[in-house]
A and B are shown apart, each in its own frame.
Chain A
Amino acid sequence: MFNGCSVHCSSVDMLLPPDEEKDPEVIPEDSSLLTLRIRKKALERREETIIVDRACRQETLAYEMESHAIGKRPDNPVDLVEEGELLLTLNIFYPVIFQKHKDHKPYQTVLVLGSQKLTELRDSISCVSDLQIGGEFSNQPDQAPEHISKDLYKSAFFYFEGIFYNDKRYPECRDLSRTIIEWSESHDRGYGNLQSAKMEDYTFNDLSLRIGFPYLFCHQGNCEHIIIITDIRLIHHDDCLDRNLYPLLIKKHWLCTRKCFVCKMYTARWVTNKDSLAPEDPCFFCDVCFRMLHYDAEGNKLGEFLAYPYVDPGIFN
């Protein structure tokens, strides 16, 4: 007959290692486990071939990003995420489609609470095109950074399950989806009954969503991001329970930054075309080098060139 006490007293102890085996860094010799024999070999190989483990730094950053908010609690109890709250994991893909990303499309991963409004996610999506500055500024470089696209074009929509959710919070917001719906209807494209709604009126709990299905976020008129929900689960005690930290970014693709052609050190802020002073076209410069090379002490333009403010995709790194 089974003796209950032997479990109750020491169920974990019954599985724990003898004291001499408590260093988790060291794989025990003569282990019968296949997993460990394979790992031991793999680790030995790694140590032999790589002197400096280059993956290390990137991995440390990725780990830091994945775990930085875990277990956080709000200062104000009002902001505590309640038990039973839903947590969604979204992959938001970058719009930049370079050839080299054909197989691995870059994306960022965010956690959103079911009770959050779609607009909260919208405001958290950082995209270079929001910082894009239109126009050629070689004659007045000082005026360039003042109006960025995010302030100019506030319209945006999500597309989930046949419904366009338009951001209508500001009077200057346009219904970007109207053209699409009209196009669909006028040609009877077989997309059924497309509808539009206000983004600010809906939370994720209000939606009926499919895991793994590609949805869309569109802003700046034509900057399109595919959104895929990869997981939905109940919130857990170990999660970040500070409502203010959601949507929570937990993973992103590290985009390379374009360096200044002159100093090779700072991230490019300007790009020039038809530049008589530059060795290549287009040519990238940081702000300091750009001004030093292209203007005299009084700020007069030197030589012929077209200059555009440049926002590097790696700016969010």
Chain B
Amino acid sequence: MRGVRREGGRGGGMCSVPGLQADCEALLGAFQEADTVRFERFAELWRERRFHAIFYGRIRALERNKFTKKTLELVQQYFLPPYAFQIRVGALYLLYGLYSTQLCQPKQKIRIALKDWPEVQRFQQDLIESQHYDAAYIFRKLRVARAFHFTAMPKLLNYRTKKKIQENEFKEEFKDPSNRVNSLITNDVLEELMNIHDHYQKMKCVISADKSQPDKALSLIKDEFVVNLKDITLEHQEWQQKRMKLFLNAKDADEIPNREEEGTSLASEGSERANALAKIKYRSYSAVAEASKSRRHRQVKLESSDSGSDYGKSQSRSRKNSKRPQAARNRGSAEIQGEMRTMKETLTRHVGMPVITEEETSDEEEVPLPKRKKRR
């Protein structure tokens, strides 16, 4: 396809299978509380709940297909940002469990939209690099099982009456905690600010009497403002993290190695922050984005901070971009088309055509048996 533009946004409600969202969130929540990304632990939680039975009951084939599709669609969302790393791993396991235990024949697939695929690949890379081999293995198993449909849009469009469509509500506790601030103040932004600030200082020097430092009259901005901004960001993250009580359990065994390198993850205070400030001064801007990833479960930290720096950018491709007004307009024009047709139908009466009135009985309930075409 030369170009596929998106239209109409994320069609359909979050999930119309009653209870399902609560069950999935309870499982993911328990996994989050367990403070691990190990598959073994996930499997325990799954078995405790006998989650395989989620597909049980006397359900007809068509209904089962629909229900399974919706289940995978629901869970797939937790597999992507803005959810935190650990939730995303949990969602991966949950997708694997649901995909493997579903009763459809052939199996319903997990939709991955074109725009999300780079993010998914990055995630897989992260899993490998941080040596979460169980998670990487589960992902690989899904690939090999051809569990994915690669689609242009996250969801299949479906047309229902407007009022049934509701915006998704994301579970706040599952989100990557520093997400919004982080997406606003990225490494790039700080770098850029620093450059501009330097440039500004130089410009001021050039027009000042003493070329080595700017005139006092030109001192309209605080010299340290980039550092301050950074500081505020860090503080905000800390506050948020405390409030969420996320991963603050120092017992996490996985995490002990490389603590020094991970210092900027803001789990500990004081010296870490001083450290971060020092880093800023050396123009090493790896802290903010790295911290956001909540990668405290990593055993080995990424060498380069590059992979982290575009993390924030991917966030800015906001999910809110859906063009709802457009969709509404489309619907409207279809309506007008319909009206025009009925008008035309009443106006134009073809010569040689019979007069047929519309039948009152509904045709939807009564299904005629497939009949042989009785021609002649």
Q: Are A56 and B156 in contact (CB under 8 A)?
A: no
**How many interface residues does A have (CB within 8 Å)?**
103
Q: Are B106 and A15 in contact (CB under 8 A)?
A: no
A103 interface contact, C-beta 8 A: yes
A204 interface contact, C-beta 8 A: yes
Q: Are B353 and A308 in contact (CB under 8 A)?
A: yes
B138 interface contact, C-beta 8 A: yes
List the A side residues contacting B141 at CB < 8 Å: 11
Binds B, one of A17-25, A172-180, A182-190, A191-199: A17-25
List the A side residues contacting B325 at CB < 8 Å: none
Q: Are B19 and A16 in contact (CB under 8 A)?
A: no
Give complex CA distance A86, B43 in Å: 36
Q: Kindly name the residue among B5, B47, B56, B334 whose own CB sees the greatest number of chain A CB atoms within 10 A.
A: B56
Q: Are B361 and A7 in contact (CB under 8 A)?
A: no
List the B side residues contacting A39 at CB < 8 Å: 19, 57
B284 interface contact, C-beta 8 A: no
Q: Are A36 and B149 in contact (CB under 8 A)?
A: no
Binds A, one of B58-66, B191-199, B306-314: B58-66
List the B side residues contacting A25 at CB < 8 Å: 56-58
Give complex CA distance A61, B62 in Å: 10
Which partner residue on chain B sits nearest A231 by CB separation? B156
Binds B, one of A162-170, A241-249, A250-258: A250-258
Q: Are B52 and A15 in contact (CB under 8 A)?
A: yes
Q: Are A15 and B46 in contact (CB under 8 A)?
A: yes
Q: Which one of B11, B40, B47, B338 lies within 8 Å of A97 (CB-CB)?
A: B338
List the B side residues contacting A45 at CB < 8 Å: none
Q: Are A15 and B330 in contact (CB under 8 A)?
A: no
CB distance from B64 to the nearest CB of A (A): 9
Contact with A along B27-51 (1 / 0, CB 8 A): 0000000000011100100110111
Contact with B along A219-249 (1 / 0, CB 8 A): 0001010101011111011100000000000
Contact with B along A1-37 (1 / 0, CB 8 A): 0111011100110111100010011111001111111
Give complex CA distance A237, B107 in Å: 11
B221 interface contact, C-beta 8 A: no
CB distance from B94 to the nearest CB of A (A): 10
List the B side residues contacting A271 at CB < 8 Å: 354, 356
Q: Are B60 and A35 in contact (CB under 8 A)?
A: no
Q: Which one of B22, B354, B370 lies within 8 Å of A282 (CB-CB)?
A: B354
A207 interface contact, C-beta 8 A: yes
Q: Are B151 and A233 in contact (CB under 8 A)?
A: yes
Contact with A along B353-376 (1 / 0, CB 8 A): 111111101111111101101111
Q: Are B366 and A256 in contact (CB under 8 A)?
A: yes
Contact with A along B62-89 (1 / 0, CB 8 A): 1101000000000000000000000000
Q: Are B353 and A134 in contact (CB under 8 A)?
A: yes
Q: Which one of A7, A205, A232, A236 lies within 8 Å of B109 (CB-CB)?
A: A236
List the B side residues contacting A66 at CB < 8 Å: 62, 65
Q: Which one of B55, B146, B344, B367 lies within 8 Å of A58 (CB-CB)?
A: B367
Q: Are A209 and B137 in contact (CB under 8 A)?
A: no
A277 interface contact, C-beta 8 A: no
Give complex CA distance A2, B134 in Å: 8
Give complex CA distance A105, B337 in Å: 12
Contact with B along A244-286 (1 / 0, CB 8 A): 0000000000111110000000110101110000000110001
List the A side residues contacting B167 at CB < 8 Å: none
Q: Are A134 and B368 in contact (CB under 8 A)?
A: no
A210 interface contact, C-beta 8 A: yes
Which partner residue on chain B sits nearest A95 by CB separation? B341
A315 interface contact, C-beta 8 A: yes
